[in-house]
Chains A and B, each alone.
Chain A
């Protein structure tokens, strides 16, 4: 297993040079905390301001030696990777290999599962989100998530669904500002034209694909830095799937996007970077086997297991 890790490292290095922000990875420790605290403050103010600010929000994620557990079961073993801002990173791999678990560790959702435990560091914009002084609620505001099946809040209207995140944590936003955010978010999710005349209707009345785009609008309305998508198209038909994939391409201008998918075509179509998760045999922890540009993963992967998986020859 030494070789793939090495390659991932190599890839990290090469992409770092390309990164326009050129923010050197800061893992030094305590002195980082202050600067991060201010950046979080900036975030909380952002939704009240104009849309120009959005483009600067996307953040790089650095994961060092991340281990995930369910009780005593070791689900994911020592992941090291860097997720680039303004790129779509796809995570592929067979069921049960830990990619969803890994995704959920990026916004501290994993620890909500009874027995869920995390070991290691996930550094977003210089701040380890697992540091003891970090509030998971604040992390989840910065890192939005779209789920496998569309989950608009059933008792809320379309409008209320979009603003749901904005009204949390006792925030006050004026109604005109909310209207503007609703329109912007729904336009951003390519849903505005379909729902603008029925914003007061329940979100559950939309079709599956519309509901999923509503969930994307809801997640982006709070202007997160990162958008996680856990098989966002698995419950959708091909047309709705394409609509979401187009949307992902537009969204990467503003966000760092990580998407888990079982759909090889989707990974190859929609992502810039692909990570392949695998486990040696059932019962052993899942690992990040290979991480590279999507083109390389699908045309010339370094690892035999990756090649077998992407070409449909398993095990």
Chain B
């Protein structure tokens, strides 16, 4: 029974038919695409290997040799805490704002204002982070002093606003706000694009049922854009986690772990700490800093994988 197909296959093989001809253009393009795909993996692996290699001495070292004198975990933990804290403040402030701005552009603003506004927001993304840092330290910090005092007076029972208020305004809260402004454009741009692609037939379906504009948005635009909002937030979170200069120049740091956002003692962030300390470090201190960089790498990796998982789940749910 199995003989017939076998012989026919053999015959085909001997005749040399099986592979269709491949055009040179096809071959070149597929080669280039494959090379690029492999290249990015090699690059990522290279970075990971470099970090591990350079961090290894610090991981192996005795606790008293690490800066701070109590071990690598104690060295990195406050920095990682500060990194995540600043980024979370930024996300909490930026995402609702970005979604609101995106909805204003796609659904509420007259077309000309919408176009101008989206252009201006795209421009915001092009401002170098050092400029945001300078703005934070020179303008926002002093300007936010009054607000921070108010927060301490009225919401002082919350651990976040326990005070005493920093007199310089160079606090974690200001850093969070600056980071929020920095990541606002990218989140807005991505969500706006997707909101605008909500099928017209779904928008009209909701309106024809007698939905108000806000109800239409809630029924169609937001569900349609949900995974985009999540992935845009993660893009923003990634940028906020890694942001160096703005944090380095604004924050007056003291290496503590505290949820108090408005006092003069603030945790630093991993990236800012590397930027500030690296030039004056040598020997094992450098390895310790690189180990903190490895921790940052791990944090961003986890954040991105979590985002991917959330998006996949949402896509399954919407099917």
Name A's B-contacting residues (CB within 8 A).
107, 109, 112, 114, 137-138, 140-141, 144-145, 147-149, 151, 153-156, 164-165, 168-169, 202, 204-205, 215, 218-219, 222
Contact = CB atoms under 8 A, between A and B. Distances in A.
A215 B205 contact: yes
A151 B202 contact: yes
B9 to A, nearest CB: 40
> What does DSSP make chain A's interface, helix, strand, loop or mixed?
loop
Given A153-B220, A154-B318, A204-B319, A169 B210 contact: yes
Contacts of A141: 209-210
A129 to B, nearest CB: 13
Contact of B208 (A107, A114, A148, A155): A107
26 contacts: A107-B208, A109-B204, A114-B111, A137-B210, A137-B211, A137-B212, A140-B207, A140-B208, A140-B209, A140-B210, A141-B209, A141-B210, A145-B208, A147-B204, A147-B208, A149-B201, A151-B202, A153-B202, A153-B205, A153-B220, A153-B223, A154-B202, A155-B223, A156-B219, A165-B211, A168-B215
A144 B209 contact: yes
B206 interface: yes
Contact of A202 (B205, B220, B318): B318
Nearest to B111: A114
Interface residues of B, number: 21
Given A155-B318, A168-B215, A169-B215, A109 B205 contact: no
A155 B206 CA distance: 13
A21 B187 CA distance: 57
Contact of B209 (A112, A165, A205): A165
Contacts, number: 72
A109 B209 contact: no
Interface string B241-264: 000000000000000000000000
A80 to B, nearest CB: 25
Given A155-B223, A164-B219, A169-B215, A147 B209 contact: no
**Would you list the 8 A-B pairs with minimal beta carbon distance, nearest first?**
A141-B210, A155-B223, A165-B209, A145-B208, A151-B205, A151-B201, A140-B210, A155-B318
A112 B207 contact: yes
B204 A218 contact: no
Contact of A219 (B111, B209, B223, B317): B209
Interface in B180-232: 199, 201-202, 204-212, 215, 219-220, 223-224
Interface string B92-106: 000000000000000
B208 A202 contact: no
A168 B223 CA distance: 16
Nearest to A165: B209
Given A154-B223, A202-B318, A218 B209 contact: yes
A138 B211 CA distance: 9
Contacts of A138: 210
Contacts of A169: 210, 212, 215
